[in-house]
């Protein structure tokens, strides 16, 4: 049997084909593309798809990590591992302004922390390197306002998203044309669900950060969720005592802002079983979304991915 | 047409259509809810939302699950296409939800373009509305093969079999008139959930499947195997000398190693030596799969080419009749040029005539000279280079295109090719005679004369050259007329007496005028010392078609530079009638731009001229 015989469930094969089509169209129609690499599972899948889209050639763009310096240590280790294993260029950008002002989730709150490190950091990096197209791993199933996001999303010269300037997308035809200064955010995983992502990771044996699998981890309980004490910068409330608990993460971000869930799922099979019976969405663990109804939409208009 | 309920059919795309308040949001909300695609944290948010915005009192308002953007929520309407995802054990669904209001034809068309199945909702109390015909027309035009007619709010008509059957019969008749034969009619109540997921106990007379079961069972028609194998080339994969492959998504048919293929439009034939899919080398691939093909010979292929089965080449044409749906505030105007993107090829196209618009509610044909947002019409257009295509009704991917604005890059509309036309028979009747304006539409910029005047050696030719290169690079059609060069040919009989100088400029001006008429930006570099002659050329063309650029270099600088030694010769009388020395130069009194070459580099000067062209709206780069 040749290696190309597929054992992939057919809906995954269709989603994979669609994503690869999107990746190639975007690269063919832009001057300086880049892939946003956030180290999470969606980034792992995107990276895997990008390798396939251009194989046996190399990936024709660099990866960009907007580093908030507050990610889990396991994520940094994983990033280095990936860069090494796949020989891809990962450009790391740190918002120096945030470094100088010591912006952190404890003093400044989740919203400002995310806005300055991520949203502003991303704009800086895009301007600095002159990237005119950036791939992101967002999916339409993540959040209500994403359901209407285009696959190719146009941003003005100051990175703004104007809902009324977005282009209709028919068939598999995407319009990536843009004027100098304008840029595009492209979401190859638009039509994937969280379950698709895990099933694909399992089918294709894609490496992901170990934090997704349940393990005993030092945590404290806060507003109904588990926060991992990942390094000495974690500020404990009076009376809080980190203790070991069996948890895993459904989504990964800055460790003080990312809630873990209690879980025994140590393997991909177990994660998928757990997902199938889960009642909660993955964004539950992202403190950023709870800032108010429509908050995601506002963030997007400001240039958040 | 072949049915392929095999390889790729369990990812199924659905479009939902309904008029406002028919219960579409409720129906979708229930499908998502019952198929457990709604998480309980979302549900809790929904409970809060229901109390704030809902219409169901203390009950959950499932319709609120669907609202996305805040602005829409505040207006109480949905104004864009939203995509929802849910899965059952049998199929994974992507549901495109487009609002039903007439202004939103474009959204419905967008959702229909990829849909396998359309759910058309009607309110049992109201029956078929004019909107229902609009929805069915769109579904038919966009080639959606299967329709599920959901007759909703059956609870409000006492679950009446008669009401349902009357509506279903009338609908079948209307749909078949529009070429839709596969209609599954289901009586439902979205609010109570009857016949949505489970069969209804209130309507024992109905023996068919529920909506969800129907969506799981309907056959999916996708591939048009009869139109043969076609692969639009997206990407040339050539990492090293050992590998050269051509990547794309198979639009129709199937390919195996050893199959002969033809590259279009070049017509070169070759044989497939390897089919690489996302998992590696394999033997074959079929519609919907993404592959990289390797050939036995080294053939020239570029992005935008089409690889077709050797015995099933796609049609090639440059004049077409197509159904167009306009999607932008900027109207479609015949005679104007646009970009058309079909598959992976983007070409310049001119729309010639709007044959008629279709009134989507009465299906009447209405004459028109332009198309506005949400209009549907039949038009003819031609492309500057031929396109390889198949009629849309036989192959969506090979016959569907988008229309893009050349300047704003916005997607303005979408089209479906009906058939090609013979250019000779179909171009001449266009309303617009080929004139300066028409040519200018084709080039994408207005024509004009850029007249550089100044003393010998002041830098006119150098700046003119830099300007032409700069304009050429941005796709502007230019021609450079240089005084020195013209004197070698057209004007070789002329000397430097005042009379000859006037004739020299007159001839140059006439040539430039012809070229302006041909649509070019003509860059002229002439000393042209007399105000009157410059004015004469200005008067040959339109007032906004002449730009006077004064290349101002002081005489002492010129005499110091003097690379050809001309000034030195003139000073000692070896050359006579030399401008600036013993012949006058009339300084332009009111030039469009003055360039001081002592302070500005060549590129800066050229860019300054580009700025003037831009601010006068002659070009827009
Ligand atoms: N009685 C009854 N009311 C319904 C049914 N389906 C929807 N509705 C109500 O009709 C109204 C409009 O429904 P909605 O889903 O918002 O309609 P949309 O505009 O088509 O999305 C709401 O008040 C719903 O609760 C039904 O099957 N029976």
- Number of inter-chain CB pairs under 8 A, A vs B: 184
Q: Do A293 and B45 touch (CB under 8 A)?
A: yes
Confidence category of residue B498, pLDDT binned at 50, 70, 90: confident
Q: Is the CB of B200 under 6 A from ligand 1?
A: no
Q: Which two tokens stand for residue B416?
A: 């479906």
Q: What share of chain B is helix, strand, coil (3-state, %, to 5)?
A: 30, 30, 40
Q: Does B40 touch chain A (CB under 8 A)?
A: yes
Task: List the single residue in B with minimal CA-CA distance to A296.
Answer: B69
Task: Give per-residue pLDDT as tens, A209-255.
Answer: 999 999 999 999 988 889 999 988 989 888 889 999 999 999 999 99
- CB of B115 sitting under 6 A from ligand 1: no
Q: Which residue has the higher pLDDT, B524 or B38?
A: B524
State the ipTM, two decimals. 0.88
Residues B328, B413: contact at Cβ < 8 Å? yes
Q: Give the residue numbers of B annotated as catalytic, written as ranges.
A: 528
Query: In terms of Cα–Cα distance, which of B107, B123, B104 is closest to B115?
Result: B107
CB contact under 8 A, A4 and B82: no
Q: Answer yes or no: is pLDDT of B485 > 90.
A: no
Distance CA A84, CA A206 (A): 15
Nearest by CB to residue A17, choosing from B84, B113, B249, is B249
- Above 60 in pLDDT, residue B69? no
pLDDT higher than threshold 70 for residue B423: no
Measured in angstroms, the CA of A279 and the nearest CA of chain B are apart by 5
Are A57 and B49 an interchain contact pair (Cβ–Cβ within 8 Å)? no
B29 lines ligand 1 (CB under 6 A): no
Instruction: Tell whether B51 is within 8 A of chain A (Cβ).
Output: no
Contact assignment for A4 to B41 by CB distance below 8 Å: no
Residues of chain A contacting B65 with CB distance shorter than 8 Å: 144
For range A63-72, the mean pLDDT? 95
pLDDT, average across residues A121-139: 95
* Neighboring chain A residues of B237 at a CB cutoff of 8 Å: 54-57
CA A96–ligand 1 middle distance (angstroms): 53
Predicted TM-score (pTM) of the model is 0.76
What spacing in Å lies between the alpha carbon of B24 and ligand 1's midpoint?
Answer: 7
pLDDT in tens, A263-298: 999 999 999 999 887 766 565 554 434 444 445 555
pLDDT of residue B415 exceeding 90, the answer is yes
Q: pLDDT category, B427, cuts 50, 70, 90?
A: very low
Looking at residue B50, its pLDDT comes to 61
Is residue B432 over pLDDT 60? Answer: no
A28, closest residue in chain B (CA to CA): B235
A58 min Cα distance to partner chain B (Å): 7
For B503-510, which contacts have Cβ atoms below 8 Å and span 24 or more sequence positions? B505/B530, B505/B533, B505/B534, B505/B536, B505/B537, B506/B533, B506/B536, B508/B481, B508/B483, B508/B537, B509/B533, B509/B536, B509/B537, B509/B540, B510/B540
Higher pLDDT, A296 or A144: A144
pLDDT tens readout for residues B142-166 = 999 899 999 999 999 999 999 999 9
Tell me if B402 and A170 make a contact (CB, 8 A cut-off): yes
Q: Taking CB atoms and an 8 Å cutoff, what residues of chain B touch A193? A: 85, 87
**Mean pLDDT of all residues in A34-48:** 96
B89 CB-contact burial (10 Å; exposed 0-12 / middle 13-18 / buried 19+) = exposed
Q: How far is A218 from chain B (nearest CA, A)?
A: 26
Q: Residue B404 and residue A175: Cβ atoms within 8 Å?
A: yes
Q: What tokens were used for A153?
A: 């999303």
CB contact under 8 A, A148 and B80: yes
Residue closest to B323 by CA, chosen among B282, B371, B281, B284: B371
Q: What is the pLDDT of residues B374-383, one digit of tens each?
A: 999 999 999 9
Closest partner residue to A284 (CB to CB) among B41, B279, B292 is B41
- pLDDT at B48 (0 to 100): 64
CB atoms within 10 A of CB B590: 8
In a 3-state reduction of DSSP, which class is residue B270? strand
First to last CA, chain A: 42
Q: Residue A7: pLDDT band by 50, 70, 90 thresholds?
A: low
CB of B144 within 8 Å of a chain A CB? The answer is no
pLDDT at B74 over 60: no
In the predicted model, is pLDDT for residue B282 greater than 60? yes
Give the model's pLDDT for residue B223. Answer: 65
Which of A3, A14, A33, A189 is the best residue to mutate to test the B interface, defined by the most B CB atoms within 10 Å of its own CB?
A14
Q: What is the pLDDT of residue B244?
A: 94
* Per-residue pLDDT at B7: 40
What is the DSSP track for A108-166?
A: HHHHHHHIIIIIIHHHHHHHHHT-SEEE----GGGSGGGGG--SEEEE-TT----GGGP
Distance CA B353, CA B349 (A): 13
CA distances from A81 to A39, A77, A207, B155 (A): 11, 6, 10, 60
- To the nearest whole percent, how much of chain A has pLDDT over 70? 89
Q: Report whether residue B20 contacts ligand 1, using a CB cutoff of 6 Å.
A: yes
For B574, residues 6+ apart whose C-beta sits below 8 A from its C-beta are none
B chain contacts of residue A24, beta-carbon cutoff 8 Å: 234-235, 247-248
* Nearest by CB: A148 against B69, B248, B402: B69
Distance, CA of B417 to CA of B440 (rounded, Å) = 26
DSSP B210: -
Q: Which pairing describes strands B82-87 and A259-262: parallel, antiparallel, or unpaired?
A: unpaired
Spatial contact of B226 and B288, defined as CB atoms under 8 Å apart? no
B101 vs A119 pLDDT, higher one: A119
> Can you read off the two tokens belonging to residue B296?
């036995």
Strands B146-152 and B182-187: parallel
pLDDT tens digits for B353-371? 899 999 988 889 999 989 9
A197-206, A288-297, B64-73 — most confident range: A197-206
| Residue-by-residue DSSP string for B481-545 | EEHHHHTTTTTTT--SSHHHHHHHHHHHHHHHHHHHHTT-EEEEE-----HHHHHHHHHHS-GGG
CA distances from B169 to B163, B175, B186 (A): 10, 10, 12
Query: Is residue B135 lining ligand 1, measured as CB closer than 6 Å?
Result: no
Q: Which of A17, A21, A147 sits opposite B82 (nearest CB)?
A: A147
Nearest CA to CA, how far is B211 from chain A (Å)? 21
Task: Give the three-class secondary structure for B83.
Answer: strand
- The pLDDT, as a whole number, for residue B430 is 44
Burial of B207 (0-12, 13-18, 19+ CB in 10 A): exposed
Task: Give the residue whose CA is nearest to atom 10 of ligand 1.
Answer: B23
pLDDT reported for residue B1:
35
For B5-52, what is each residue's pLDDT tens digit? 344 458 999 999 888 788 888 898 888 887 766 555 565 666 666 666
- Out of A4, A58, A190, name the one closest to residue B239 (CB): A58
Residue scoring higher pLDDT (A176 or B20): A176
Residue closest by Cα to atom 11 of ligand 1: B21
Which residue has a Cα nearest atom 13 of ligand 1?
B23
For chain B, give the mean pLDDT: 87
Residues of chain A with C-beta less than 8 angstroms from the C-beta of B114 = 170-172
- Cβ pair B288:A14 closer than 8 A: yes
- Tell me the pLDDT band of B80, cut-offs 50, 70 and 90: confident
User: Cα–Cα distances in Å, from B309 out to A17, B3, B154?
Assistant: 21, 20, 52
Residue B268 has pLDDT above 50, yes or no: yes
Residue B18's pLDDT is 86
Find the angle CA(B229)-CA(B235)-CA(B241) to the nearest 5 degrees: 105
What is chain A's mean pLDDT, rounded? 88
- Give the gap in angstroms from C-alpha B362 to the nearest C-alpha of chain A: 26
- Give me the residues of B, 244-303, that contact A with CB < 8 A: 247-249, 275-283, 288-290, 292, 303
- Judge whether B261 and B269 are in contact, CB under 8 Å: yes
Of the two residues B432 and B520, the one the predictor is more confident about is B520
Contact A264, A214 (CB under 8 A): yes
Share of chain B above pLDDT 70, in %: 88
pLDDT reported for residue B3: 37
Question: What b/e string do you get for A70-93 counting C-beta neighbours within 10 Å, with b at 16 or more?
Answer: bbbebbbebbeebbeebebebeeb
């Amino acid at each position: 049997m040749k290696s190309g015989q597929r054992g992939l469930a057919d809906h995954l094969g269709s989603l994979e084909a669609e994503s690869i089509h999107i990746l190639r169209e975007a690269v063919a129609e832009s001057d300086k593309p880049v892939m946003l690499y956030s180290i999470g599972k969606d980034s792992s899948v995107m990276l895997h798809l990008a390798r396939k889209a251009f194989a046996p050639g190399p990936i024709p763009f660099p990866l960009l990590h907007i580093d908030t310096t507050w990610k889990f240590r396991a994520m940094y280790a994983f990033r280095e591992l990936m860069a090494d294993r796949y020989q891809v260029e990962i450009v790391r950008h740190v918002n120096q302004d945030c470094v100088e002002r010591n912006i952190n989730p404890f003093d400044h709150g989740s919203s400002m922390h995310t806005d300055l490190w991520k949203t502003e950091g991303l704009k800086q990096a895009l301007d600095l390197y002159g990237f005119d197209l950036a791939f992101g791993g967002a999916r339409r199933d993540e959040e209500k306002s994403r359901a209407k996001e285009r696959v190719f999303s146009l941003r003005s010269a100051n990175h703004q998203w104007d809902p009324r300037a977005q282009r209709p997308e028919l068939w598999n035809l995407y319009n990536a044309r843009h004027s100098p200064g304008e840029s595009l955010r492209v979401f190859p995983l638009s039509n994937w669900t969280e379950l698709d992502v895990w099933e694909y990771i399992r089918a294709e044996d894609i490496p992901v950060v170990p934090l997704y699998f349940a393990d005993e981890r030092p945590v404290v309980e806060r507003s109904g969720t588990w926060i991992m004490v990942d390094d000495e910068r974690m500020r404990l409330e009076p009376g809080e005592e980190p203790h070991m608990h069996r948890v895993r993460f459904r989504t990964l971000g800055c460790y003080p802002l990312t809630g873990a869930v209690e879980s025994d799922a140590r393997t991909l099979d177990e994660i998928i079983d757990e997902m199938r019976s889960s009642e909660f969405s993955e964004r539950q663990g992202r403190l950023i979304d709870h800032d108010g109804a429509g908050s995601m939409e506002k963030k997007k208009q400001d240039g958040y991915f | 047409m072949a049915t392929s309920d095999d390889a790729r059919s369990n990812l199924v795309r659905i479009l939902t259509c309904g008029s406002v308040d028919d219960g579409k949001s409720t129906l979708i909300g229930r499908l998502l809810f019952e198929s457990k695609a709604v998480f309980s944290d979302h549900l809790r948010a929904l409970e809060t939302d229901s109390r704030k915005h809902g219409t169901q009192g203390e009950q959950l308002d499932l319709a609120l699950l669907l609202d996305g953007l805040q602005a829409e929520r505040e207006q109480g309407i949905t104004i864009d296409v939203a995509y929802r995802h849910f899965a059952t054990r049998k199929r994974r669904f992507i549901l495109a939800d487009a609002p039903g209001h007439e202004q939103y034809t474009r959204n419905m068309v967008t959702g229909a373009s990829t849909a396998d199945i359309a759910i058309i909702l009607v309110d049992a109390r109201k029956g078929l509305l004019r909107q229902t015909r609009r929805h069915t027309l769109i579904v038919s035009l966009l080639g959606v093969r299967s329709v599920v007619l959901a007759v909703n709010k059956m609870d409000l008509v006492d679950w009446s079999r008669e009401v349902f059957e009357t509506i279903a019969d009338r609908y079948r008749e209307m749909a078949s008139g529009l070429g839709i034969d596969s209609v599954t009619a289901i009586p439902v109540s979205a609010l109570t959930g009857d016949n949505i997921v489970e069969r209804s106990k209130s309507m024992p007379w109905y023996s068919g499947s529920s909506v969800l079961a129907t969506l799981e069972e309907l056959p999916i028609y996708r591939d048009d195997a009869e139109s043969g194998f076609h692969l639009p080339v997206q990407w040339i994969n050539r990492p090293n000398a050992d590998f050269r492959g051509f990547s794309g998504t198979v639009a129709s048919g199937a390919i195996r190693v050893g199959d002969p293929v033809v590259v279009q439009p070049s017509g070169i034939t070759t044989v497939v030596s390897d089919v690489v899919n996302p998992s590696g080398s394999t033997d074959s691939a079929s519609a919907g799969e993404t592959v990289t093909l390797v050939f036995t010979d080294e053939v020239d292929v570029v992005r935008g080419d089409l690889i077709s089965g050797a015995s099933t080449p796609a049609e090639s044409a440059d004049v077409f009749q197509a159904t167009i749906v306009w999607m932008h505030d900027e109207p479609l105007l015949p005679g104007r040029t646009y970009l058309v993107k079909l598959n992976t090829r983007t070409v310049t196209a001119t729309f010639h005539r709007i044959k008629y618009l279709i009134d989507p509610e009465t299906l009447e044909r209405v004459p028109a000279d332009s198309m506005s947002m949400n209009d549907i019409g039949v038009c003819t257009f031609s492309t500057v280079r031929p396109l390889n295509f198949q009629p849309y009704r036989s192959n969506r991917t090979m016959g569907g295109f988008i229309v893009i604005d050349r300047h704003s890059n916005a997607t303005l509309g979408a089209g479906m090719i009906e058939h090609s036309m013979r250019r000779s028979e179909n171009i001449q009747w266009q309303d617009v005679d080929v004139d300066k304006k028409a040519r200018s539409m084709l080039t994408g910029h207005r024509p004009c004369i850029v007249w550089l005047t100044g003393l010998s050696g002041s830098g006119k030719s150098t700046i003119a050259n830099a300007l032409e290169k700069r304009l050429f690079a941005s796709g502007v059609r230019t021609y450079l007329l240089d005084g020195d060069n013209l004197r070698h040919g057209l004007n070789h009989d002329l000397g430097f007496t005042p009379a000859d100088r006037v004739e020299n400029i007159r001839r140059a001006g006439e040539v430039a005028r012809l070229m302006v008429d041909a649509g070019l930006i003509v860059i002229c570099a002439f000393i042209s010392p007399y105000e009157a002659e410059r004015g004469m050329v200005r008067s040959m063309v339109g007032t906004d078609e002449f730009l006077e650029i004064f290349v101002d270099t002081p005489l002492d600088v010129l005499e110091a530079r003097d690379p050809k030694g001309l000034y030195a010769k003139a000073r000692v009388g070896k050359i006579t009638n030399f401008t600036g020395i013993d012949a006058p130069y009339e300084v332009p009194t009111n030039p469009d731009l003055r360039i001081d070459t002592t302070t500005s580099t060549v590129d800066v000067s050229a860019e300054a001229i580009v700025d003037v062209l831009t601010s006068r709206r002659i070009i827009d780069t």
